[in-house]
């Protein structure tokens, strides 16, 4: 299946792209493995080594819906889905 990943803020700076498509077969864990292999700096930014989950500061968005689960092996992705990882917005 093909999924599209949207890049914002620091993630966009690391990838140098606004979006990218990946072919995956299972879940968000597989997508993260592909992203970390292609952009090693993303692993440090997105991944909490201690908990083995996505850092709590990031929101996982799939098809414009916030996903509250942080364990990527439990997050299913379907063909045509759009995935984004967002940091909280602050203003002042």
pTM exceeds cut of 0.75: yes
CATH number at residue 53: 3.10.20.30
| Domain enclosing residue 32, as ranges | 2-86
Confidence (pLDDT) at 92: 54
Confidence (pLDDT) at 88: 77
Whether the per-residue pLDDT at 91 is higher than 70: the answer is no
Q: Is 64 part of a structural domain of the chain?
A: yes
Rounded (5°) CA angle 9-46-87? 40
Q: Is 92 part of a structural domain of the chain?
A: no
| pLDDT tens digits, 15-72 | 999 999 999 998 999 999 999 999 999 999 999 999 999 999 999 999 999 999 999 9
Count of domains forming the chain: 1
């Amino acid at each position: 299946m093909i999924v599209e990943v949207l890049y914002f803020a620091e993630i966009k700076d690391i990838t140098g792209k606004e979006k990218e498509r990946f072919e995956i077969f299972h879940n968000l864990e597989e997508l993260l493995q592909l992203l970390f292999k292609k952009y090693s700096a993303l692993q440090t930014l997105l991944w909490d080594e201690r908990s083995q989950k996505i850092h709590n500061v990031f929101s996982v968005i799939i098809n414009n819906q916030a996903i509250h689960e942080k364990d990527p092996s439990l997050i299913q992705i379907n063909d045509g889905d759009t995935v984004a990882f967002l940091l909280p917005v602050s203003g002042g």
